[in-house]
Structure 1
Amino acid sequence: MTNRFQRTRDDHSRERAEDYVELIDSLTHDKGEARAVDMADRLGISHVSVSRTLQRLKRDGYVTMEPYRSIFLTDKGKALAGAARERHDLVLRFLLALGVPAEVADTDAEGIEHHVSDETLAAMRKFLKPTP
């Protein structure tokens, strides 16, 4: 059995990386590029905080970047962004199916997606799957 406190700490450390790669992917899709200044604006944090996290993402192989240039996801970063988006969409659809208002469901899904187990995701998928 996994120690629930250790799992929560692990989830929190992965959460920032997932949020950043999702945002980079979204900015690239919407604007054609992702820049640290746009990320800081969207996240409501300082450029310095974004830069520190981007350096960790680069070190861990999720992004490539050059000073004063756009930020790009590596294949590893794209895979992480896709998996995080898929979890978010599943949790969102589940909350909506329960009758949670859309705006509340979207906000809640943003937090839940990072802490939900594979077993719970499977149960959500099963719940949402239409019966023949």
Structure 2
Amino acid sequence: MAQLAKVDPKEVIRREDYLREHQRPRDMKDPFTWPWPYRAAGTAVALCIGASHMHNSWLRKPWHYALYARMGMTVAAGFIAFTLGNLRVNNYQSREAVTEHYKELHSNDFEAVNDIYGRPFANVLLPWYPKRTQYRRFDE
């Protein structure tokens, strides 16, 4: 059987930290580095502006058609999306805190999960013997 390639623990931590949120430096040109509330608000505002433009183009209206109402609705959509982004961040933080607290209380239940190299499939999965339709007399 092939040997597992062992990775340095510092390299494992570096790889996992790179995938976690807020580990990459923020860049205004890259919205994936923005915090969630700003990302949600930016997406909502961009969708509202795009929908307004498509609506004006489809109905052959000038660009300033219902401008104040659309600006108000765009601001409202951005505010609602910002609020939902804050709710998402709060929900994820509380869920993570509950999970970490449970792992501290019951640390012996998570010893098998902390092994990054895992276990072979034979130790995890039960054997599966499919029933073949051509061998009906053995089904009983």
Pick the TM interval, shorter chain.
Answer: under 0.3
TM-score, structure 1 length as denominator? 0.27
TM-score, structure 2 length as denominator? 0.26
Q: Which has the higher contact order (CA 8 A, sep 6+)?
A: 1
When you count strand as a share of all residues, which structure comes out higher? 1
